[in-house]
Amino acid sequence: MKRSRILAAVSILLATAPSASRAQAVVAAPYPAASPAVEAAWRARVDSLLARMTLEEKVGQMTQVTLGVVAARGTPHRDSVRLDTAKLREAVVTRHVGSILNVEGAALSVPGWHDAVTQIQRAAMRDTRLGIPVLYGIDFVHGAGYTRGGTIFPQNLGMAATFDTALARRAGRVTADEAYASGLPWNFAPVLDVGRQPLWPRFYETFGEDPVLAAAMGRAQVLGMQGSGRVAATLKHYLGYSNPRSGHDRTPAYMTPREVRESYLPPFAAAVRAGALAVMVNSGEIDGEPLHASRYWLTDVLRGELGFDGVVVSDWQDILYLHTRHHVAPTPKDAVRMAIDAGIDMSMTPYDYQFADDLTALVREGAVPESRVDRSVRRILTMKARLGLFEHPYPDPLAAAEFATEASAETARRAARESITLLKNEGGVLPLAKDARILVTGPAAASLTALNGGWTYTWQGRDASQLPDGPRTLLEAMLRRGRDVRYVAGAGFDGEADLAAAGRAARDADVVVVAVGEDAYAETPGNIDDLTLPEVQLRLVEAVQAAGRPVVLVLVEGRPRIISRVADGARGIVMAYQPGMQGGDAIADVLFGDANPGGRLPFTYPRHANALTTYDHKPSEALSSDGGPGGFRPQFELGAGMGYTTFAYRGLALGAAEVRAGGTVPVRVTVENTGRRAGDETVLLFTHQRYAAITPPVRRLRAFRKLALQPGESRVVTFDLSTDDLRYVARDGRPVLEPGVFDVMVGGLTASFTVVAGASPETGAAGAAR
């Protein structure tokens, strides 16, 4: 590995290794390794094909179109899609298209997918000169959301709340198995954007605001998705997409390269090291440079430093947008030249063949070397070979046995239960007594679309008629558990229903459960300008609080909607995120005490709409208006969460008082379940550098460990804190370790050690602190 790669992939990114603690860190091999003979056969096949391909055939491999391009018009597409034979032939035979993606309207059944993919592959394998299979891509971002009956997991934000990397890996494997069973070998997931701008409508697709947590969960999902060797994972959206200044989707981010490297690059680098086969590019821009035109980020950093050797695919129409939206390319043809020069391998065009025509012309004119095209085509063909598509291009009919199994459903149920985060439980209002008189109200109570969010059967996920009949809403789940559960709608997500009726019903209840939040949305249609919970929902909560009965808020939302106006009057607050098809039952299990909540908040929940400070803020951001402490007062902090038992920490001890570069500091702490119920506890290890050349944050997450403890049980938890974990990115973009005092903070306890100048005996001078 080159030294330039070490700078990013080792020094910055080793911080991702202890994110699940070093004892829990994923140690499995990356993408399944092939034997030298198989690798040689792949290379020989790719070399032979490249030698025989025309320029048009090569450029076709770099072209990706949506299913609608080859679908027949005017026919319903509920379970299957009818393809237009002439359009299919034009795409695959005449235009040599290398990849197709997406659904036409809504999810298909497994037989529907098999029929469509078989027709596409038959055209590619039988009717073309070289018989190169088509690579089909799909957005299974939280399970098999575009195949009917597929297993649906919590959105990534909820998965992050579990702090369970083994569960994330298992979810990735289930998703890949069901993608393969559907005949879809390329998954556009996981999302590795770091969620530090909560207005952003794709916030729920992230693993939260911390890069260490996002790296650990993302790496685990990649290992799960690619573990069978049959499905490729795609890291998206490289890079910095999730921090637009406006909060709106596909709008500019303004960040220095130092900030990008510190907070947004680590999850991608960790997943590259896990062997991810593809990367999808950020649709926005950083400091005025669209990522689709950035040779620095796509080639110098992604390939040069991180060592990525897979396929880089554009996002939806984003090469053309260099001309029409970003205005950095005078013509569409210039946009193609800029994107190819930056490092794009495949264009998600996705509606036409203008990209292919323009790239062909650019090569013939000498503006783009054909050798540059060859590099991209080699990567694309190699990925197809790795996935076994040349030998097995058609869907596997026997794989249907792996689709929507009871074991997969149980994994989704477990994920939903583990994600639920209890943020407030004043006076022990929870768990609810099953014989209590319970009023359920609020727009999220009877909404299955809200539980699942976007990318579920349809792009926006809001068409309830498309969703299956089996999964239960929160209301349905509570009716099955409680003996006296009543329901009044109260209000819609944005429109008023009958607040007075809800208030009257509340007076006759022992406790009121108000399910508020957001209906499903995805991407730009989810843009908002104010995080405050819609007025009608706030008024609903106030109406039932006025009845004087205990109120429990259940937040079903993809981003933190501001609830400070009603939070103090609520006895209980439960964060449900978007927990998926099993979410109604999972929330009800927690509310009635059939499950002990163990989720932890993976982001900072703001108290006010403009108070969007993250947990790892600078000391000056924690000052009040008079210069004293108290300026950082979120509604809930990262890591917040409680259960129906209690835990105590004691005996935090460090194995070294001093450490040199290249060394480690053993950390140990005892955690005890001091309550009466078994429960899960997530142990979070933070560090704080007291002084640094660049203002240090007040704390940074370095490691975590999830424990399951019986009542009265205690366990000694150990971490190995490496000096590599303590580096930060300096102004020149390089990671640096500075001598000085560091604090270690675990469970309210603090201990300190000192980094001293010089290298440890094992590392030599090259690792010296400076």
Q: Which of 204, 172, 214, 189 is nearest to 280 (CA)?
A: 189
Distance, in Å, from the CA atom of 216 to the CA atom of 590, rounded to the nearest integer, reads 26
H-assigned helices in 27-151: 36-52, 55-61, 85-89, 110-126
In 3-state terms the chain splits into helix, strand, coil percentages (rounded to 5) of: 35, 20, 45
Neighbours of 167 (CB within 10 A): 21
Distance, in Å, from the CA atom of 593 to the CA atom of 555, rounded to the nearest integer, reads 18
CB 562 within 8 A of CB 532: yes
Distance, in Å, from the CA atom of 164 to the CA atom of 216, rounded to the nearest integer, reads 9
Write the DSSP symbol of residue 527: -
Neighbours of 538 (CB within 10 A): 19
CB 251 within 8 A of CB 206: no
Neighbours of 694 (CB within 10 A): 15
Neighbours of 652 (CB within 10 A): 19
DSSP string, 406-454: HHHHHHHHHHHHHH-EEEEEGGG--SPPTTSEEEEESTTTT-HHHHH-S
- Residue recorded with tokens 């976007």: 454
Q: How far is CA 189 from the centre of its chain?
A: 8
- For the four alpha carbons of 745, 726, 275 and 343, in that order, the dihedral sign comes to positive
CB 213 within 8 A of CB 619: no
Say whether the peptide bond before residue 190 is cis (omega within 30 degrees of 0).
Answer: yes
Q: Is 315 a catalytic residue?
A: yes
- For the four alpha carbons of 730, 732, 736 and 738, in that order, the dihedral sign comes to negative
Write the DSSP symbol of residue 723: G
DSSP string, 189-225: --B------TTSTTGGGS--S-HHHHHHHHHHHHHHH
Selected catalytic residue, list 139, 193, 249, 315:
315
Q: Which two tokens stand for residue 450?
A: 């809200």
Cβ partners under 8 Å of residue 51, min gap 6: none
CB 153 within 8 A of CB 172: no
Distance, in Å, from the CA atom of 228 to the CA atom of 251, rounded to the nearest integer, reads 37
Q: Which of 111, 67, 132 is nearest to 399 (CA)?
A: 111
Pairing of strands 572-575, 551-556: parallel
Say whether the peptide bond before residue 101 is cis (omega within 30 degrees of 0).
Answer: no
Distance, in Å, from the CA atom of 655 to the CA atom of 73, rounded to the nearest integer, reads 69
The catalytic residue positions are 315
